Amino acid sequence: MKNIQSFFIALLLSIMTASCASQQFEPVDPGVYEIEVDASHRYTISIPENYTGEKSVPLVLALHYGGHGAPFYGKFILTDMVEPALRELGAIIVSPDCPASDWTQPESEEFVLDLLEEIQANHNIDENKILVTGYSMGGMGTWHFAASHPEVFAAGVILAGMPPDNFLEIEWDVPLYVIHGRNDEVLPIDPTLAVVAQLQSQGEEIKLKILEGVTHYETHLFVDELKSTIPWMMEITN
């Protein structure tokens, strides 16, 4: 009898442990957190200092540049660029690790959209103030998500990101702000200039800021430029 009781107690503890392990921890207190969903899906999230859950706040998706380094690779763009630049927004900022070769791949898209839904389910998010931004590969991802999911995003800020080849086939419903360095040696500015000029001539809501003398790897020079877009973001989302 004692052996049977021990078996069922062990079985119950095993079930409880598995259940707890499957529940994704979603922080609500202010701070920066690294969250692992599984071995290939991770993200970093920043909860603003004054967040209590009583008032809805914006949500910013920050897409990292190319490369797949250590786990929580997306944390760098969050802590070094996007959070310092957009702190005044009082937004929750999430930066996933890209699970595929780039942000346009189906696996990446599915992970990002599921992640945004999860955050909205666990936090008080203003659904009219969901923004996307990213640098380099993340800038390309910003073009992609703004084009593919206008039902989700209110605005996008593209930092040194190459525009899509099929831009003329897209109905651009999401306002865009493009920032690109004149001397970008990795992703030259000329395609960006051509696409922005064409979209502006069609009456699309797109702004362009050229950074004179700035190369691709001078990412620190984009922080103040991203910060300067806050009035535009607030105007777009109000």
Backbone angles phi, psi at 22, to 5 degrees: -80, -15
Read off the tokens for 73. Answer: 């690779």
**C-alpha radius of gyration, the chain, whole number:** 20
What's the pLDDT at 151? 97
- Beta-carbon neighbour count of residue 150 at 10 Å? 15
How far apart are the C-alpha atoms of 177 and 164, rounded to whole Å? Answer: 15
pTM of the model: 0.89
pLDDT in tens, 53-112: 999 999 999 999 998 778 999 999 999 999 999 999 999 999 999 999 999 999 999 999
What's the pLDDT at 6? 44
How far apart are the C-alpha atoms of 154 and 187, rounded to whole Å? Answer: 26
Complete edge-to-edge strand list for the sheet that includes strand 206-211: 31-38, 41-47, 92-96, 57-63, 125-135, 155-159, 176-181, 206-211
Sorted by where each starts, the structural domains of the chain and their CATH numbers stand as 27-237 (3.40.50.1820)
What's the pLDDT at 39? 86
pLDDT in tens, 119-163: 999 999 999 999 999 999 999 999 999 999 999 999 999 999 999
pLDDT of 7 higher than 90: no
How far apart are the C-alpha atoms of 229 and 22, rounded to whole Å? Answer: 39
- The DSSP output letter for 153 is -
Instruction: Identify which has the larger pLDDT, 79 or 1.
Output: 79
pLDDT in tens, 19-65: 333 335 678 899 999 999 998 899 999 999 999 999 999 999 999 99
Q: What b-and-e string marks burial along 7-21, b requiring 16 or more CB atoms within 10 Å of the CB?
A: eeeeeeeeeeeeeee
Instruction: Identify which has the larger pLDDT, 211 or 14.
Output: 211
Q: Is 90 helix (H, G, I), strand (E, B) or coil?
A: coil
What's the pLDDT at 24? 56
